[in-house]
Amino acid sequence: MQNRNISDIIEQYLKSILKESPSIEIKRSEIAQQFDCVPSQINYVIKTRFTVQNGYLVESKRGGGGYIRIEKVDLVDDAEYLNDLIEYTGKSITETDAFKVVQALYENHFLNRREANLILSTFNRNVLAFSDHEIEDIVRARILKSVINRLKCAD
Amino acid sequence: MQNRNISDIIEQYLKSILKESPSIEIKRSEIAQQFDCVPSQINYVIKTRFTVQNGYLVESKRGGGGYIRIEKVDLVDDAEYLNDLIEYTGKSITETDAFKVVQALYENHFLNRREANLILSTFNRNVLAFSDHEIEDIVRARILKSVINRLKCAD
DNA sequence: ATAATAATAGTCAAACATAGTCAAAGCGTG
DNA sequence: CACGCTTTGACTATGTTTGACTATTATTAT
C-alpha cells in the first residue's frame, strides 16, 4: 500500500483533507507546486480518481481567484445510484473499470469486503478469457449489471 | 531438492520474503534483473506457483509506479470439500447443476443466503446467454470454480 | 464601457514506464 | 527420444507524466 507514483500521493492527500471537511477548495497551481508536478497532473488525478460514480462532485473556476472544488456527496437515492452504475457499466466494460464499480459499491456500503471479493472473482481476466476480447468485456458487463440489479432487492 | 532452474529459485526467494510479511510488492523488472532473466519469467513463476488454490492472491498494476503484489492467505480447513465441488463442476456445467453446487455451499455454510443469491445472479441463463449454448456452460463452470477457489481463502 | 492583459483552469496527444500474453525454442527426465 | 516443463523475446495492453495549446474569468488601462 505504499505510494508508488505522484498521482496516488496526490489522491491520498486530497482524500485525507476531504476527511476533515466534506468539501475542499484548492488552487491547481499550488497543489502542483507542492507536489512538484505540472498543473495538468491535478486534472489527471481528478479525472481518474474523483469521479461521480465514486461520489465526488467537482466544480472549478478559471481566471483570477480560480479554484477547483471537490465535494464528497452522500447518495440521495440508492436505487438511482445503482441505476447510474448500471448505465456507466453499459454494454461492455473492462476489468479495470468493473473493478472501480465494485469498489464504489463497497465504499458506499452496498457490498461488504467479502462480497466484493467474491464478485470480483467471477469476472476477472482469467475467468472470462475468451478468444475474443470484445466478448470478454460484454460478458463482464452483463454479470456486473446482474449483480447490481440483484442489489436493488431488499434481501 | 536442488534448485535446478531459475523458476524454482525465484519461487523460493518470493516465498522466503513472504514469510516475513503476508503481503509483498515487487517490481517485475527489478526481480528479473536480480535473477538475470527476462521479465516475463516472473509471470511464469507466478502463474505456475502462486495460484489461488495454493493460497496466494496476486494483483498488479502497469504503467508508471507499476507493481505486482502477492498476498499469502490462509486456506480454510475443509478445502478438500471445496475441491470436490470444483471437480464436480468440471469444464462445463448447466444452470441447474450449478444451482445445486451453490446450494451445497450454502448448506455447508460456505456462503450465506445473500452471498449465494449474488453468486447465482452472476451466471443465470440470461446473463450468459450466448449464441452458443456450450460456451454458456463453459463460462458458468469457470465462474463457479473461481468463486469456490476464492472461498478457500479464510477471509 | 471596452479593450488589453494577467491569472487561472482544461484538453489532448506524445513520450515514457510498467506489466501481460503467447508461441516458439530449449532442455531434462523418465 | 518423446513429453512436459522452462526460457525467451517480440508484441501488446495499460497507466502516468509532461507540455504545448486553448478556454475562461478577473483586473487594469484607455
Work out the number of other CB atoms within 10 angstroms of the CB of residue B56.
Answer: 18
Q: Considering Cα of B131, then B135, then B140, then B146, what sign does the dihedral take?
A: negative
Nearest-CA neighbor of B121 among A130, A155, A99? Answer: A155
Tell me, what amino acid is at A20? E
Inter-chain contact A143–B122, Cβ cutoff 8 Å?
A: yes
Chain A / chain B CB contacts < 8 angstroms = 70
Q: Which residue has the higher pLDDT, A133 or B29?
A: B29
- The amino acid that residue B29 corresponds to is S
Which one-letter DSSP state was computed for residue A69? E
What's residue B1's pLDDT?
46
The answer to whether the CB atoms of B115 and A118 lie below 8 A apart is yes
Per-residue pLDDT of chain B (155 residues; tens, 9 = 90+): 455 799 999 999 999 999 999 999 999 999 999 999 999 999 999 999 999 989 999 999 999 999 999 999 999 998 899 999 999 999 999 999 999 999 999 999 999 999 999 999 999 989 998 767 888 999 999 999 999 999 999 87
Q: How far apart are CA B113 and CA B86, in angstroms?
A: 20
Is A8's CB within 8 Å of B126's CB? no
Q: What angle do CA B76, B94, B47 make, to 5 degrees?
A: 45
Chain B residues inside the 8 Å CB shell of A122: 119, 122-123, 143, 146-147
pLDDT of residue B107: 97
Distance between A94 CA and the closest CA of chain B, angstroms: 14
Beta bridge partners of A71: A23, A57
CB contact at 8 A, A7 and A49: yes
Q: Do A115 and B117 touch (CB under 8 A)?
A: no
Q: Averaged over A126-141, what is the pLDDT?
A: 87
The closest of B148, B42, B49, B53 to B93, measured between CA atoms, is: B148
Residues of A in Cβ contact (< 8 Å) with B147: 118, 121-122
How many whole angstroms separate alpha carbon B95 and alpha carbon A123?
Answer: 17
Closest chain A residue to B141, measured at CA: A127
Whether any strand D atom is under 7 angstroms from the Cβ of B60: the reply reads: no
Nearest to B114 by CA among B126, B105, B123, B124: B105
Residues of A with CB under 8 A from a CB of B: 2, 4-5, 7-8, 113-115, 117-119, 121-124, 126-128, 139, 142-143, 146-147, 149-150, 155
0.85 exceeded by the pTM?
yes
Q: What is the DSSP letter of B50?
A: S
Buried b (16+ CB within 10 A) or exposed e, B75-88: bbeebeebeebbee
Q: DSSP class of residue B54?
A: G
Cell of A10: 496526490
